[in-house]
Amino acid sequence: MTHRVLLCTFKGAELQGLAAEGNGQAACGFKVVCAAGAAGAFAAFLGAGFLAAFLAAGFLAAGFLAAAFLAAGFLAATAFLAGAAFLAAALGAAFLAGAAFLAAGFLAATAFLAGAAFLAGAAFLAAALGAAFLAAGFLAATAFLAGAAFLAGAAFLAAGFLAATTFLAGAAFFAGAAFLAAGFFAVAMVYSP
């Protein structure tokens, strides 16, 4: 004597165009296929939500890094300008003192004036070269930091995009596998003895 196991009941099969054969196994298989499709859609929705959250976190981190870089640049520029103002004041005072000394030297002797003028010119040239060197160093450091911040942000965004893509591909694969398994189960239930 053979026994059939009633997996699920499906009343009103004729109303939906299904033959009332097989004790409702085909209808149960159809329900499983629909449930697997709904689970796949929900998994895709969750994956999209995770992707959006991850991208939002990446943009927030990039914005924070950009703000920190701008603040550091502003502080460095302020310090540099303060140093330049102090250097200009010191050079102005030195220039005035040198001018007074040169006037006294001119009155004393022409030879002394020539020597003092040469020394003052050399000192001024050395100070100008030092200021130019400091400015070039500041510009090079700023350019390097800007490039490093940009590359770090780009690497962060690329890693986030790769992780989200991998997650979505895995979710899609598992949803497809569940859908195919449910379809095979429904077909097997129709043709089972």
Give pLDDT tens digits along the chain (193 positions): 444 444 444 454 445 555 555 565 566 667 778 888 888 899 999 999 999 999 999 999 999 999 999 999 999 899 999 998 998 898 888 888 887 787 677 677 675 656 767 888 888 888 888 888 888 888 888 988 888 888 988 888 888 988 889 998 898 898 898 888 888 887 777 776 6
Domain count, the chain: 1
| 8: in domain | no
The answer to whether position 160 is within a domain reads yes
Q: Show the domain range for 70.
A: 44-190
Asked whether residue 87 is domain-assigned, the answer is yes
Asked if residue 1 is part of any domain, the answer here is no
Contacts of 112 (CB under 8 A, 6+ apart): 105
Classify residue 146: in a domain, yes or no: yes
Residue 57 forms part of a structural domain: yes
In a domain, 172, yes or no: yes
Any domain includes 128: yes
pTM: 0.31
